[in-house]
Chains A and B, each alone.
Chain A
């Protein structure tokens, strides 16, 4: 990637390293304090209603279990299309996110709905496979009809400082994606510091990722508020440096409406409402949807809902 503002920083390992380590540091305490302050925003009444619907429309409804079956995926797709059968005004989710072998099932269930099919690839979640296997994994999912690919970076290579290797791998996967959108999972829970989160975010953006994504959901901690804050700052700064607009996807551990709304507040106050669209912000989740639906029902009916009033899929 070369622009006037950002010369070819990935031309060799030393240059890439110098660039990534030249990014401003992140003070952990300050970043966490900022995220904590934003978490005190009080979102009520009309804005809460707006935020709940926006959050639903941003969900990548996810099932990534070894026990997944075609039936489970079909049920999930039905839920994605009509999250609340009792209330037709409920928006659809943005995408359904599955393993590669379930893509065909999901595509068949979602054709014509506008709901995207996302597949995790590149030896998700560990990423511990040869590049050839990762590329084959990616191509397989795309060939099966996946609209979006959620890849994982090689954290081992990243942590040992082999940034160019990570970069080249993302470039190769992006190429293998063809028309599919690429989300790059940083797996921030394994990156140890916010400085690393910022560097990994820039690395993924420089290499051509369309989205940067926090986590696989298989590692704790996952999409914490300060991690999301740092990644949002990265896309904000990347846009002002290169002009390119990159999406952000927190995933993992987001279970309540409160969590989701706090994330929308972070987006709103860090990068602005331009990012408040499923095109640029997604929430990777499974159980979150039902909590959002119960909150939505409460706002509609005026009384609290219960788990028997939302469907289990």
Chain B
């Protein structure tokens, strides 16, 4: 990929690590301050590109979760609940500004902790996170216009569990609407990527956010489970795997808890023979190799019309040859590290299964660093609809290529999955785009583009990809009690 033979080899262009001050250890953020966990346990968070330990992070047990939920309840019944909506809005606006002010620091920390390229954390994750706070802030004193009746009310204490693929951005998707609607939150970041959430806790302090409005409890699955099952949590919001989503839905059965789930996907990215091929190839690359494919809405199934199969695949292979894999802190890196060893092993297992199923595997020439967790951009051709790599979410830089002949066949194959999060369509024919968009059973359809996100644009799945929306007017419904009837 970044072969030495190139005349124009880009010299290393590393972002400065000194921009961020990582503490040796972090406590839990409860009631506006950092506190030690009740039983004093902790875990290490490492940089997946180097396996270097970045910090020790407190592991919240049930007692800590309880303490955080109590703090959130006190804030809800106290200052936050009593605050005028317009004042509440200003706090959320302030958080948006603070993210912008400390954007570079947040980007560096995100890249160190997650392994994603600095170009993405700098240009996508952090600015979009700030945009989420900015957009939602304005809702706080306009809730009567959200279409949920004349006087919708916050639900109460929200327990929020987020994944490791977009740590700060997922935090913003969760916290911004919750606060704007008047809820208080206890958020659990993923155990492999807790650091930007803990830096965000500092931003809450800088914003003088009343204690307990935002609480951050770090830990793994058990912490998340304690949070979701806590009896005083009124609202559960989860982004993550479909398996865990199902477990959460089971756990809260019979309670009054409201829930929204944003789960897995196996999106089809459908390329017709009249597509703008160069942009389609970019869309395919962006669809599956953005963020190492650690994207629930990734375009992991490429469906190419047979008549342009060779042309598209040739272009795709050539394009993949220009992807730069390596140090995520290098500003020219396109593909960073896989987030964890566990995820790397899952990707390996599924790609091995793909080969065993008879699919043909291809990667561009690509040297992987020795330290850290890495997987080369990989394309499988000759993939049958029944192959595991066509059915299961890989959550890695692995594209399965299938073909189709007619629009009906494309729709049938695209919809033939338990998931329904997103889909892509590439064609220059307007009426076909609209027909396809109406037939695809997916919550987001990108036509002649892919992996676009905006705080004003509702995002969420059909079928086993979850329910509820995040973003836009529709997203506010997840954090409000309708007074419509």
Contacts and interface: CB of A to CB of B under 8 A. Distances in A.
Let me know if chains A and B touch directly in the complex, using CB atoms closer than 8 Å. Answer: yes
Interface of A: 24-27, 29-31, 33-34, 40-48, 50-51, 54, 233, 240, 264-265, 268-269, 273, 276
Interface in B309-326: 314, 322
Q: Which of A30, A43, A46, A264 has the most CB of B within 10 A?
A: A30
A34 B283 CA distance: 10
A40 B279 CA distance: 18
Given A30-B279, A30-B449, A42-B13, A25 B428 contact: yes
Q: Which of A25, A29, A265 has the most CB of B within 10 A?
A: A25
A232 to B, nearest CB: 10
Nearest to B282: A34
Q: Which of A42, A43, A264 has the most CB of B within 10 A?
A: A42
Contact of B6 (A24, A40, A240, A268): A268
A43 B13 contact: yes
A51 B322 CA distance: 18
B276 A30 contact: yes
Nearest to B5: A273
Nearest to A240: B314
Given A40-B119, A41-B332, A26 B278 contact: yes
Interface bracket on B: 20 to 34
Interface in B373-395: none
A47 B276 contact: no
Nearest to A233: B278
A266 B277 CA distance: 18
A43 B11 CA distance: 7
B326 to A, nearest CB: 14
10 contacts: A27-B279, A29-B448, A34-B278, A41-B332, A42-B10, A42-B331, A43-B13, A240-B314, A269-B322, A273-B8
Contacts of B480: none
Nearest to A26: B276
Contact of B278 (A31, A54, A265, A269): A31
Given A30-B448, A269-B322, A43 B10 contact: yes
Given A27-B279, A43-B13, A44-B10, 10 more contacts: A24-B277, A29-B448, A30-B449, A31-B279, A40-B119, A40-B331, A42-B10, A43-B11, A47-B10, A276-B7
Contacts of A27: 276, 279, 448-449
Q: Which of B6, B10, B274, B449 has the most CB of A within 10 A?
A: B10
B178 interface: no
B9 interface: yes
A50 B282 contact: no
Interface string B267-308: 000000011111100110000000000000000000000000
Given A40-B331, A43-B13, A30 B283 contact: yes
A168 B12 CA distance: 49
Interface of B: 6-13, 119, 123, 274-279, 282-283, 314, 322, 331-332, 428, 448-449
Nearest to B278: A233
Contacts of A25: 274-276, 428
Contacts of A45: 11
A48 B278 contact: no
Contacts of B448: 27, 29-30
Nearest to B314: A240
Contacts of A41: 10, 331-332
B13 A44 contact: yes
Contacts of A24: 274-278
A276 B11 contact: no
A33 B283 CA distance: 10
B330 to A, nearest CB: 8
Contact of A264 (B8, B9, B12, B314): B8
A276 B278 contact: no
A186 to B, nearest CB: 18
A43 B332 CA distance: 9
A101 B279 CA distance: 44
Contacts of B6: 268, 273
Nearest to B7: A273
Contacts of B275: 24-25
Contacts of B314: 240
A41 B276 CA distance: 24
A298 to B, nearest CB: 16
Contacts of B11: 43-48
A213 to B, nearest CB: 21
A145 B12 CA distance: 45
A269 B281 CA distance: 14
A268 B282 CA distance: 16
A39 to B, nearest CB: 11
A42 B6 CA distance: 16
A51 B274 CA distance: 37
A233 B428 CA distance: 18
A40 to B, nearest CB: 6
Given A40-B123, A42-B331, A47-B8, A29 B13 contact: no
A276 B8 contact: yes
Nearest to A41: B332
B51 to A, nearest CB: 25
Nearest to B450: A30
A26 B10 contact: no
**8 nearest A-B residue pairs (beta carbon):** A30-B279, A42-B13, A42-B331, A27-B279, A47-B11, A24-B277, A27-B276, A25-B276
B485 to A, nearest CB: 42
B447 to A, nearest CB: 10
A99 B11 CA distance: 40
A41 B279 CA distance: 19
A110 to B, nearest CB: 26
Contacts of B332: 41-42
A137 to B, nearest CB: 36
